[in-house]
Amino acid sequence: MEKFLEITPTSNVRIPNWKRAVIKVGSALVTESGRRISTKHMLPIASFITACRDQGKEIILVSSGAVAAGLSTQSRLATKQQKTIPEKQALAAIGQPMLMTTWSRLLDYTCAQLLLTYDDILNRKRFINAQNTLMELLMMKTIPIINENDTVATDELKVGDNDNLAAFVAVLANADLLIICSDIDGLYDADPRTHPDAKHISVVEAIDEKIHALAGGAQSKISTGGMRTKIQAAEKATSGGIDTIIMNGTKHVFFQMLLDGILCGTIFKRQQRPTVGRKHWMLHALPSAGSIYVDKGAAKAISTSGASLLPSGIVEISGDFQEGDAVFVYERNEDGAQRIAKGITRFRSTDLAKIIGKKSHEIPQVLDKNHQSDVVIHREYMVILNG
């Protein structure tokens, strides 16, 4: 553990110029042992934000710590190991204004509070509304401070962690940088707590299976605490064209270096051909309700010729989905099946099952219904993966 803390993962990597950043600050940085608010790390972070603002940059803060802050007022719950969901929600309701008051006191700018749920991201209308509010708040030169709306969000309504929430916010805000601050130095090629010679990784060009495995994916045992959600967040942000940095916010000197454009931590490079707007939302926010497997010819037409998906190329479907649901498209080949796209289907699974492999002119004979078109997933409603 000592070695882990001693490592100063500085490099000669420079951070690309940026104008608007989302900074995610984890509970470990705003609380003392997760039990009460502490300004120890908040103060240098606030100074960093102020310095960025003074340079003309825009900052949006995603701050955790509401539950922990609320805990300081409830001695009965402080020692209770397993708190119920309503207890945690009540603690968040108590702690959230305490968190806001502390940030407002430390920052030299007007702060504004936004509490979001997954529902606000999933529902495209609410997403756009939140985006409009955020843009207005930036125009008003405030510092928006965002947290999950824990009081109303239970499991199915929850983003669940502020790393992923921050990535959605970065996309929402059209940011060009996402900075995830926690008490870890970034990504290592093995868990530094159990592998003393683990090497720090400064730059990740693309997030692939190997990177997910390093963060404790299903295939790996070298899980680095809390890294999994950070990689998920980095994947969402970089695929939306946003550089993402994971850095150790307990090392205050790193903020000064960051101001000078020097990387301390791990940078995940933005994708050269980002998925933006509705397609990014479809890919990352919409849950998948099923899978459609296609033959090699259809896979090629989709991946390289910009074609829509037709029933004739489908070989199998799985899942119980409705018209308008998102589904993954897989290429079926001799190696098994590879995920190639995600899109919104125009057919429900029970209808689609009847027209697998059928030519377009056969569809009206099979489906006792006048389908306006034979297109299963229209090109405009499909995102090609790794394309």
Give me the least distance between CB of 131 and ligand GLU, in Å please.
21
Using DSSP, state whether 82 is helix, strand or coil: coil
Please give the Cα distance from 180 to 248 (Å, whole number).
9
Give me the least distance between CB of 162 and ligand GLU, in Å please.
4
Length, in residues, of the chain = 387
| Contact string (CB under 6 A) for ligand GLU, positions 318-357, x = contact | ----------------------------------------
| Contact string (CB under 6 A) for ligand GLU, positions 70-99, x = contact | ----------------------x-------
Nearer to ligand GLU, 168 or 328 (CB): 168
User: Could you give the count of Cα atoms lying within 13 Å of 188 in the half-sphere of its Cβ?
Assistant: 23
Cβ-contact 162, 210 below 8 angstroms: no
Count Cβ atoms within 10 A of the Cβ of residue 356 and give its class: 0-12 exposed, 13-18 middle, 19 or more buried.
middle
Cβ-contact 298, 219 below 8 angstroms: no
Give me the least distance between CB of 253 and ligand GLU, in Å please.
24
Please give the Cα distance from 123 to 106 (Å, whole number).
34
Nearer to ligand GLU, 165 or 352 (CB): 165
Give me the least distance between CB of 70 and ligand GLU, in Å please.
8
Give me the least distance between CB of 309 and ligand GLU, in Å please.
36
β-pairing, 143-148 vs 177-182, is unpaired
Nearer to ligand GLU, 184 or 282 (CB): 184
Site for ligand GLU in 259-288 (CB under 6 A): none
Give me the least distance between CB of 65 and ligand GLU, in Å please.
5
Count Cβ atoms within 10 A of the Cβ of residue 254 and give its class: 0-12 exposed, 13-18 middle, 19 or more buried.
buried
β-pairing, 20-25 vs 58-63, is parallel
Please give the Cα distance from 179 to 186 (Å, whole number).
11
Nearer to ligand GLU, 67 or 352 (CB): 67
Find the residue with minimal CB distance to ligand GLU: 64
How many Å separate Cα 119 from the centre of its chain?
15
DSSP H or E run through 144: strand 143-148
Give me the least distance between CB of 350 and ligand GLU, in Å please.
38
Site for ligand GLU in 115-154 (CB under 6 A): 147-148, 150
Number of residues that bind ligand GLU (CB under 6 A): 13
Nearer to ligand GLU, 120 or 150 (CB): 150
Give me the least distance between CB of 96 and ligand GLU, in Å please.
7
Nearer to ligand GLU, 226 or 290 (CB): 226
User: Could you give the count of Cα atoms lying within 13 Å of 335 in the half-sphere of its Cβ?
Assistant: 5
Please give the Cα distance from 380 to 326 (Å, whole number).
13
Nearer to ligand GLU, 41 or 342 (CB): 41
Kindly indicate which of the ranges 47-55, 63-71, 280-288, 326-334 contains the residues binding ligand GLU, using the contact rule CB under 6 A: 63-71
Nearer to ligand GLU, 144 or 343 (CB): 144
Site for ligand GLU in 148-167 (CB under 6 A): 148, 150, 161-162
**CA end-to-end span of the chain:** 40
**Does 44 interact with ligand GLU (rule: CB under 6 A)?**
no
**Does 64 interact with ligand GLU (rule: CB under 6 A)?**
yes
Cβ-contact 251, 265 below 8 angstroms: no
Instruction: Give me the sign of the Cα torsion angle 307, 310, 314, 318.
Output: positive
Please give the Cα distance from 294 to 315 (Å, whole number).
5
By the criterion CB under 6 A, which residues form the site for ligand GLU?
A: 26-27, 64-68, 92, 147-148, 150, 161-162
